[in-house]
Chain A
Amino acid sequence: MTEPSPLLSFRNVTRRYRQQNRPALDGVDLDVVEGELLALIGESGSGKTTLLRLAAGLEEPDSGKIFIEGECVAGDGCRGRMVPPEKRRLGLVFQDGALFPHLNASKNVAYGLKKQDRKARNERIAHCLATVGLSGKEKRFPHELSGGERQRLALARAVAPEPRLLLLDEPFSHLDPALRRKLREDIRDILKRLGQTALMVTHDPEDALAIATRVAILDDGKVMQTGTPSDVYRNPVDQYCAERFGPANRVIDEESGGVVWRRPEDARWIACEVADEGTMVTVEDIRPMGHIYEVRVAPDAYDGEKWLCFLKEAAHLSPGERGRIAWRGSPEPVSWKT
């Protein structure tokens, strides 16, 4: 398979806001390739929403270039002429949907469809609403739909004009956890079925790991790491990247002497003190959490640092007990992409 050409490219893009002394985006390079679902993850204020807005044309970069399908749409390369959002042929799903309150469901979807004959247009609307499971609710107004339905309508509206790239801005953040999980699965299936390239901004690691084919981690306006979900989960490059996806333990690799980050569930308890693998630790605290035990241990050679381990069998452990912790290696990356 040959390397696909990037659909959206950021080249050394910087964007600063007047009120802040640090740039919101600082020399960002990023590509979104055809067919992938790239999740941008980072804390609030890390610049992820700015990046999305720059891609959409809602803001303009201070320096650097942005390309869509090889055409420069903003920045130094296009002689000061930014391609406005309405000419970019992108779709955007907003955090709160941003549905038009005065238009019903089918008119919301129809809004982005232009110059088609009535029949084709109606077919397209019906098809899009069916795709997101809103058939039969064409005449409902946004305020007559539930939170999940509104967000699905927003998705239908965004994909109806067949955008080159779909942008999603924290599309699940306003939903409660159960609905969130369901909608996440739905959207993943829909995007996969449509073969839609998408760029999603989120601060929720579960969103990113569950539906993205690739993840980019943003901190302080810089891209810190990109990779497949399992890759960024198992092999974070630094503490910030590690902590995006839950607790991680700093471990010094015995062979290279460098720092690696290990997940609590990868810990293995070795009761024998003299085994030839693992690090000597003292158990500090044990909490049964139902399916696992949360065990806090103090490794000997780490000067007061603590490790957090999730162990399946720890009923027999007690504070003060000595033993060894070893770490399972990272498994092969997995991906649902075909």
Chain B
Amino acid sequence: MALTGTAEILTTAAGEAPEPGLGAVRRWRPTDRWGVGVALLAGVILLPLVAVLLHLGRESVEWEHLARTVLWGYLKNTLILVVAVTAVVLVMAVPPAWLVTNYNFPGRSIFSWALVLPLSIPTYVAAFVFYQGPEAAIPFFVWVRQNIGVDAFIAAELIVRYGLLIVMMAGVLFPYVYLACRAAFSQQSRTVIEAARCLGSSPWRVFFGVALPMARPAIVAGTALVVMEVVNDYGAVHFFGVPTLTEGIFRTWFNMGDQVSALRLAGIVMLAIAVLLVVEQLLRGRARYVEPEASGVPLVRTRLSARRGLLAFAACLVPLTIGFLFPVARLAVWAWLNLTSDAGVSFQAGAALGRGLLLAVATAGSVTLAAALFMYAVRLRQSATRQVLGRAAGLGYATPGAVIAVGVLVVFGTFDRFDLPRLPIVSGTLFAIGFAYMVRFFAIPLQFARAGMDRLGKPIEEASRILGRAPMATFLRIDLPLLRGPLIAAGMLLFVDILKELPLTLILRPANFETLATIAFSLASEARLQACAVPSLLIVIAGGIGLIVMNRWIAVPGAHD
């Protein structure tokens, strides 16, 4: 359970041992088409990642210089952001998750799903919405400089800039932890909580002493996702002038033209993420946190008094406002102003919306199907190799988009060198970008499929086989219809992620191919904030719809037994 996809968080609260597959076969056979398929697909997906790692050992003159000057700054900024954003995210996410699962207060049912919505706002969009924050503080800076001194001014400016960036990133990323916690809290055995209450614990002690420790794996898994998103981010850190490792990759490759050093930076990022995943795995330890059997006791929410209800309302409203309501309101005003003044951008955005939706829907659909079939093949036979390949195929999710883009460029560049005419497999095509999305996001549908198949159980699968249906027929007639819910949820999440994706899209898009994300980013780079509100708002609306659909289907898992 090394890789924690969003999906794992949404679908399961804690890791469980994979069930042995159908028919334990130890010998590899050339006739085993399913095994070959698994190996091929996993190999193709891992190719770009391997390509990056292979470059770690290459000689580079500039690397020395880079290491001496900017590397430490990149590392420091990345580390500061990761730690601080994580801390703020926990405060924003855990209390609302606990409140909406266990208490009744005004707005509870709306908050329950609305708190997912900040996921529809890309970090770079949030960044330029909040961008004017430091500007608004200029009178304060001037006052500090005149009355305290230059050093204090510099410190104050840094604190405001970093602080705003941290709160803003946490505001749009906290739903990862919120979703994980909500799932964990609602799956927690009622009887354990009730036992704690009967033993005389106050609600606070139940939360800190029982519920929170039991939800720890979910919190850690959700936090791991937040960390990956922070490391992956390119737009927000760019606007706020806080260069991280990802920004370093862009600068080194595209501004300095030093591919080898850029690949090395990418390698460092991958190693750092790998360390994070290992730590997460160690933190999980051997403890089991989730009762194997959920008790049938229905969930009864406690009604809160008016004053406490108000506090709970505020605990939910504040993060939602930072992560969604404020940015959306701001974007809406800007977009309206722009529509009335400059319609050109809107036409451009409209065309990009069509293209972007088509690309996102097509990619999300085919990648989800491919992942479901892949997971089915992985589970078909109990073999260590297949399990490892099944996990490895999701590694792209732990790798920043810029790194994957670089890896894809290297791989496709190699293809290009063979000068194969008319082959669609060349860099700078939609195929390349679709492939890169698959590498990056394969873990999401994979994890949903895994959890769904776990829940479906082996006997149904075996019943179909014994009734004379071969594996493929079983997949089409049994697994696919029964996994409709989780797969639709996975596809929606994938759709939102692809729509939002910036760094990978920036690097790999074909010439003159603009998505909403790239238009928004380039307009924002030109400081045309009102204009860039139009494509941004379109991303948020499309993504928000996707998330609401996803939230519905998460509640209806696999089999309806």
**Could you tell me which A residues sit within 8 Å of B by CB distance?**
56-60, 80, 82, 84-92, 94-96, 98-102, 111-112, 114, 142-143, 157-158, 161
Query: Please, what's the 1-or-0 string for B434-460, where 1 marks a CB less than 8 Å from any CB in chain A?
Result: 000000000000000000000001011
| New A-B contacts (17) at CB < 8 Å, excluding given A80-B29, A84-B470, A92-B463 | A56-B462, A58-B23, A58-B466, A60-B25, A86-B468, A90-B466, A92-B462, A94-B463, A98-B457, A98-B462, A99-B463, A100-B463, A100-B482, A111-B469, A112-B467, A114-B468, A157-B463
A-B contact count (CB 8 A): 82
Query: Which residues of A have CB within 8 Å of B23?
Result: 57-60, 82, 84-85
- Complex: A114 Cα to B467 Cα, angstroms: 10
Q: Is B133 at the interface (CB under 8 A from chain A)?
A: no
* Chain B residue with Cβ nearest A58: B462
* Interface residues in B14-57 (C-beta closer than 8 Å to A): 22-25, 27, 29
Nearest CB of chain B from residue A152's CB, rounded to whole Å: 15
Q: Is B481 at the interface (CB under 8 A from chain A)?
A: yes
The 9 closest A-B pairs by CB, nearest first: A112-B467, A98-B459, A85-B465, A98-B463, A92-B466, A94-B459, A101-B559, A86-B465, A86-B468
Nearest CB of chain A from residue B464's CB, rounded to whole Å: 7
Nearest CB of chain A from residue B121's CB, rounded to whole Å: 37
Q: Is B137 at the interface (CB under 8 A from chain A)?
A: no
* Chain B residue with Cβ nearest A91: B466
- Complex: A92 Cα to B479 Cα, angstroms: 19
Nearest CB of chain A from residue B557's CB, rounded to whole Å: 12
Query: Which residues of B have CB within 8 Å of A98?
Result: 457, 459-460, 462-463
- Complex: A111 Cα to B464 Cα, angstroms: 8
* Chain A residue with Cβ nearest B473: A86
* Chain B residue with Cβ nearest A94: B459
Query: Which residues of B have CB within 8 Å of A85?
Result: 23, 462, 465-466
- Complex: A161 Cα to B41 Cα, angstroms: 36
Q: Is B560 at the interface (CB under 8 A from chain A)?
A: yes
Could you tell me if A100 and B465 are in contact, using CB atoms closer than 8 angstroms? no
- Complex: A58 Cα to B466 Cα, angstroms: 9
Q: Is B478 at the interface (CB under 8 A from chain A)?
A: yes
Query: Which residues of A have CB within 8 Å of B477?
Result: 111
From B24, B457, B561, contact of A143 by CB (8 A): B561
Q: Can you list 28 A-B contacts (CB < 8 A)?
A: A56-B462, A56-B466, A58-B465, A58-B466, A80-B29, A82-B25, A84-B465, A86-B466, A86-B468, A86-B469, A87-B468, A94-B462, A96-B459, A98-B459, A99-B463, A100-B463, A100-B464, A100-B482, A101-B482, A101-B559, A111-B469, A112-B467, A112-B468, A112-B469, A142-B561, A143-B560, A157-B467, A158-B466
Query: Which residues of B have CB within 8 Å of A95?
Result: 459
Query: Which residues of B have CB within 8 Å of A111?
Result: 464, 467, 469, 477
* Chain A residue with Cβ nearest B468: A86
Query: Interface majority SS on A: helix, strand, loop or mixed?
Result: loop
- Complex: A80 Cα to B469 Cα, angstroms: 22
Nearest CB of chain B from residue A295's CB, rounded to whole Å: 42
Nearest CB of chain B from residue A107's CB, rounded to whole Å: 10
Interface centre among B463, B470, B477, B482 (most CB of A within 10 A): B463
Query: Please, what's the 1-or-0 string for B478-493, where 1 marks a CB less than 8 Å from any CB in chain A?
Result: 1001100000000000
Could you tell me if A102 and B481 are in contact, using CB atoms closer than 8 angstroms? yes
Nearest CB of chain A from residue B9's CB, rounded to whole Å: 26
- Complex: A222 Cα to B157 Cα, angstroms: 78
Query: Please, what's the 1-or-0 string for B523-561, where 1 marks a CB less than 8 Å from any CB in chain A?
Result: 000000000000000000000000000000000000111
Nearest CB of chain A from residue B188's CB, rounded to whole Å: 25
Query: Which residues of A have CB within 8 Å of B22?
Result: 58
- Complex: A58 Cα to B462 Cα, angstroms: 7
- Complex: A117 Cα to B209 Cα, angstroms: 64
* Chain B residue with Cβ nearest A74: B23
Query: Which residues of A have CB within 8 Å of B460?
Result: 98, 100
Query: Which residues of B have CB within 8 Å of A87?
Result: 468
From A59, A88, A158, A161, contact of B24 by CB (8 A): A59
Query: Which residues of B have CB within 8 Å of A94?
Result: 459, 462-463
Query: Which residues of B have CB within 8 Å of A80?
Result: 27, 29
Query: Which residues of A have CB within 8 Å of B29?
Result: 80
Query: Which residues of B have CB within 8 Å of A102?
Result: 481-482, 559-560
From B468, B470, B478, contact of A100 by CB (8 A): B478
- Complex: A193 Cα to B459 Cα, angstroms: 27
- Complex: A91 Cα to B468 Cα, angstroms: 9
- Complex: A88 Cα to B466 Cα, angstroms: 8
- Complex: A99 Cα to B482 Cα, angstroms: 12
- Complex: A204 Cα to B312 Cα, angstroms: 54
Query: Which residues of A have CB within 8 Å of B560?
Result: 101-102, 143
Query: Which residues of B have CB within 8 Å of A92?
Result: 462-463, 466
Query: Which residues of A have CB within 8 Å of B27?
Result: 80
Nearest CB of chain A from residue B266's CB, rounded to whole Å: 38
Known: A59-B24, A60-B25, A82-B23. A101 touches B561 (CB 8 A): yes
Nearest CB of chain B from residue A89's CB, rounded to whole Å: 7
Nearest CB of chain A from residue B30's CB, rounded to whole Å: 11
Nearest CB of chain B from residue A97's CB, rounded to whole Å: 8
Query: Which residues of B have CB within 8 Å of A114?
Result: 468
- Complex: A96 Cα to B27 Cα, angstroms: 32
* Chain B residue with Cβ nearest A112: B467
* Interface residues in B493-519 (C-beta closer than 8 Å to A): none
- Complex: A86 Cα to B462 Cα, angstroms: 9
Query: Which residues of B have CB within 8 Å of A60?
Result: 23-25
Query: Which residues of A have CB within 8 Å of B469?
Result: 86, 111-112
* Chain B residue with Cβ nearest A101: B559
Could you tell me if B470 and A86 are in contact, using CB atoms closer than 8 angstroms? yes
Nearest CB of chain B from residue A199's CB, rounded to whole Å: 13
- Complex: A157 Cα to B467 Cα, angstroms: 8
Query: Which residues of A have CB within 8 Å of B466?
Result: 56-58, 85-86, 88, 90-92, 158
* Chain A residue with Cβ nearest B25: A60
Interface centre among A59, A85, A102, A161 (most CB of B within 10 A): A85
Could you tell me if A161 and B463 are in contact, using CB atoms closer than 8 angstroms? no
Nearest CB of chain B from residue A321's CB, rounded to whole Å: 51
Query: Which residues of A have CB within 8 Å of B561?
Result: 101, 142-143
- Complex: A86 Cα to B470 Cα, angstroms: 6
* Chain B residue with Cβ nearest A87: B468
Nearest CB of chain B from residue A80's CB, rounded to whole Å: 6
Query: Which residues of B have CB within 8 Å of A101?
Result: 482, 559-561
Nearest CB of chain A from residue B375's CB, rounded to whole Å: 19
Could you tell me if B467 and A161 are in contact, using CB atoms closer than 8 angstroms? yes
* Chain A residue with Cβ nearest B465: A85
- Complex: A66 Cα to B350 Cα, angstroms: 66
* Chain B residue with Cβ nearest A163: B466
Nearest CB of chain A from residue B86's CB, rounded to whole Å: 37
- Complex: A69 Cα to B559 Cα, angstroms: 37
Query: Which residues of B have CB within 8 Å of A161?
Result: 467-468
Query: Which residues of A have CB within 8 Å of B25?
Result: 60, 82
Query: Which residues of B have CB within 8 Å of A157?
Result: 463, 467
- Complex: A100 Cα to B482 Cα, angstroms: 9
Nearest CB of chain B from residue A15's CB, rounded to whole Å: 9
Query: Which residues of A have CB within 8 Å of B559?
Result: 101-102
Nearest CB of chain B from residue A226's CB, rounded to whole Å: 25
- Complex: A53 Cα to B170 Cα, angstroms: 51
Interface centre among B457, B462, B477, B481 (most CB of A within 10 A): B462
- Complex: A192 Cα to B469 Cα, angstroms: 27
